[in-house]
Structure 1
Amino acid sequence: MSAVPFVQLNDGNRMPALGLGTCASSGSEIEKAVKDAIDVGYRHIDTAWAYENEHSIGKAVRSKIAEGAVKRSDMFIVTKLWNTFHEPHQVERACRQSLNNLQLDYIDLYLIHFPFGYAYKNDHEQWPRNPDGTRALSNVDFIDTWTAMERLVELGWVKSIGVSNFNSEQIARLLTVAKIRPVVNQVECSPTISQKKLTKFCKDRDIAITGFCPLGHPSPASKTPAFMYDGRVEAIADKYNKTPAQIGLRYLHELGVTPIPKSVRKQRMIENMSIFDFTLTNEEKQFMDSFNTGQRLVAMYDARKSPYWPYGIKF
């Protein structure tokens, strides 16, 4: 298994080019998964306040540091500002909550989870609704949220800041005012939604792309996503003694994307990390391009009425 390379970020920091996604896992399950991930070589762990697992992830990381398995400086911990905390005066408090949950002295990368905000009701209500049942949105401009994010770097609470689920127009607008440039845009990215145009747009502006849901939600019953169950992808995988999932992750890596596949199974984590010892041919990459339908798993339609909903343009 080859070592995971690094992505050089525009602020001088480095990010491992593969990470562990942790959405929809919590408690002892994710605590064990993070420990296993560190044991097999993962150093990039992605979470979010909204996942409600920061405490368990922090506990696992601190345990491995206490064991001497890793140093804090070896780890790259990512978490995210949730939609209900977009008001500038809420940002420091929300970040402090994440730091308290993780019980770490700093966060390596802190992201604005989505460009649109929700109305703040209280610290525990993630998905606020209006009396008629629709999503309660806020009108906070993400530019104002970003200014408060920059303050976190000045305080030393976070090493790097970035965004998630921003489209190209939103990135361009942010760059016109940002004193600290975003280092990353984390977006849904897989062979099904390859994000080649957005990746190029961001790379041209020295912003790295992290890809969540890089393997979609594989379903053997429905044989989706298509690339995971395609005979020609299986043949490519056989050629390299790999799996279709490894071919998908390698394809994203060669597009310049840092994938963060989620798994709680140790053997699967090892497989997901074993993508740096082979290279796809141009023909194989072109074939993988054919699976790009642009179909999203995450579109947040409840926020369509927000002026900052990011999915109304091509990229």
Structure 2
Amino acid sequence: MAMVVASTPGGNSSRSSRDVHIDWINWVVRRRILGPVDQGHLVPKKEVPQVEKNGSKYGRTEYGKQNAVPPHQYEEMKTDVEVGYRHFDTASYYGSEGTLGGALKEAFQSGHIKREEVFVTTKLWDDKHDDPLATITKSLKNLQLEYVDLYLLHWHVRLRKGHTLPPKEEDFLPLDIKSTWQGMEKCFELGLTKAIGVSNFSCKKIEDLLKHAKIPTAANQVEMHPMWQQKKLREYCSKMKIQVCAFSPLGAPNTPWGSNMVMDSPVIKEIAQKHGKSIAQVVLRWEIEQGVCVIPKSYNKGRIIENFQVFD
């Protein structure tokens, strides 16, 4: 089935910025298949399966890199573009904005892709709540872009400058979500981002945010996989027209914070063998069919290609 392509949101001067904001993000997820690169979403130039959601059809995948990126991974990011990924999710905290920016600049200059063909996400870190505008300005300089497509509030916490990780009790500061979100809205109003959203927010935290928001959150990026399906949160976000993006979609195996339960699942292994696919491909395809953006993470060229081959 071919992906539905909606027209660009029209300009009606009487409409509120909230309505324009919702229309824009809805147009994006219809027009693009969100796929990987720095924590990223990209756009495959091919027909893809569709998922019915809120009366509209969507197709999307996303692959992401969530850690600081060493210089040698510049080539892996170039591979992402060549494979067909078009949505790239990074963050100031990852230390990877500059590497991603360089890879994208080279791709633009070579004529391989155009800026309007990619979707770039970055995030506001926990010790920058006092000035989202200055922070996104620095991110844009690192990325060598005039705007990002989505700017996320990384966590629902505020930390002092110079904090440690993991943070100590004295590193935490009172969070004024209203003030922080007003700063995020300013970034949107100035055209530095096409949409604003959150990451790691529960239903209750989103409810609290929406009480103060002139512009609603367009997306919520959270951990999600077959062993942690986030059903309640996904139902809530669907009701509120908030796009869910799944990081650690394979359960973050072989990491201190993750688990091998997904990749070691005998049920998923049996399904993969039946269909001649890898365990990762089965899991990513299942997540796409739940209507979420998916953010797998890999710097291995073979797996970068494999993660993209989930549409057949």
Aligned residues of 1:128 and 1:136 also touching (Cα < 8 A): no
Distance (Å, rounded) in 1 between the aligned partners of 2:305 and 2:197: 28
Aligned residues of 2:250 and 2:262 also touching (Cα < 8 A): no
Cα distance change, pair 227–136 in 1 and its aligned pair in 2 (3 A) = closer
**Counterpart AA for 2:303:** R
Distance (Å, rounded) in 2 between the aligned partners of 1:227 and 1:259: 15
- From 154, 161, 183, the equivalent of 2:218 is 183
The residue aligned with 1:109 is 150
TM-score normalised per structure 2? 0.79
The residue aligned with 1:11 is 23
**Counterpart AA for 1:24:** N
Offset at 1:3? 8.9
Distance (Å, rounded) in 1 between the aligned partners of 2:78 and 2:135: 26
The residue aligned with 1:269 is 304
The 3-state SS of whatever aligns with 1:70 is coil
Provide the alpha-carbon RMSD of the alignment: 2.6
Offset at 1:276? 2.1
The 3-state SS of whatever aligns with 1:218 is coil
**Counterpart AA for 1:105:** E
Distance (Å, rounded) in 2 between the aligned partners of 1:253 and 1:23: 20
Offset at 1:29? 3.0
- From 63, 81, 88, the equivalent of 1:20 is 63
Distance (Å, rounded) in 1 between the aligned partners of 2:232 and 2:203: 9
Distance (Å, rounded) in 2 between the aligned partners of 1:45 and 1:6: 20
The 3-state SS of whatever aligns with 1:248 is helix
Matches within 5 A, 1:90-109: 90-109=131-150
Aligned residues of 2:221 and 2:245 also touching (Cα < 8 A): yes
**Counterpart AA for 1:11:** D
Distance (Å, rounded) in 1 between the aligned partners of 2:83 and 2:5: 17
Distance (Å, rounded) in 2 between the aligned partners of 1:76 and 1:186: 15
The 3-state SS of whatever aligns with 1:225 is coil
The 3-state SS of whatever aligns with 2:245 is strand
Unaligned runs of 5+ in 2: 9-20, 35-59
The residue aligned with 2:102 is 59
Offset at 1:25? 4.1
The residue aligned with 1:248 is 283
The residue aligned with 2:232 is 197
Offset at 1:268? 0.7
- From 62, 69, 83, the equivalent of 2:126 is 83
Deviates more, 1:258-267 or 1:27-36: 27-36
- From 199, 207, 214, the equivalent of 2:242 is 207
Equivalences, count: 266
- From 154, 158, 162, the equivalent of 2:197 is 162
Distance (Å, rounded) in 2 between the aligned partners of 1:239 and 1:206: 35
Q: Using the aligned pairs only, state the percent identity.
A: 37
Following TM superposition, where does structure 1 have runs of at least 4 consecutive aligned residues deviating by more than 6 angstroms?
A: 2-9
Distance (Å, rounded) in 1 between the aligned partners of 2:275 and 2:281: 10
Distance (Å, rounded) in 1 between the aligned partners of 2:208 and 2:294: 26
The residue aligned with 2:89 is 46
- From 29, 32, 36, the equivalent of 2:72 is 29
Is 1:141 the counterpart of 2:176? The answer is yes
Write the deviation string for residues 139-175 of structure 1: whole angstroms up to 9, x where unpaired. Answer: 1322211111011111111111000001101111222
Distance (Å, rounded) in 2 between the aligned partners of 1:52 and 1:200: 33
Aligned residues of 2:97 and 2:139 also touching (Cα < 8 A): yes
Cα distance change, pair 4–134 in 1 and its aligned pair in 2 (3 A) = farther
The 3-state SS of whatever aligns with 1:83 is coil
Aligned residues of 2:225 and 2:287 also touching (Cα < 8 A): yes
Write the deviation string for residues 249-280 of structure 1: whole angstroms up to 9, x where unpaired. Answer: 11111222211101112221121112222xxx
Aligned residues of 2:251 and 2:262 also touching (Cα < 8 A): no
Distance (Å, rounded) in 1 between the aligned partners of 2:294 and 2:81: 17
TM-score normalised per structure 1? 0.78
Offset at 1:176? 2.3
Distance (Å, rounded) in 2 between the aligned partners of 1:207 and 1:261: 20
Offset at 1:6? 8.7
Offset at 1:128? 7.6
Distance (Å, rounded) in 2 between the aligned partners of 1:140 and 1:62: 36
Offset at 1:219? 4.0
Distance (Å, rounded) in 1 between the aligned partners of 2:4 and 2:264: 28
Distance (Å, rounded) in 2 between the aligned partners of 1:84 and 1:219: 28
Is 1:218 the counterpart of 2:230? The answer is no
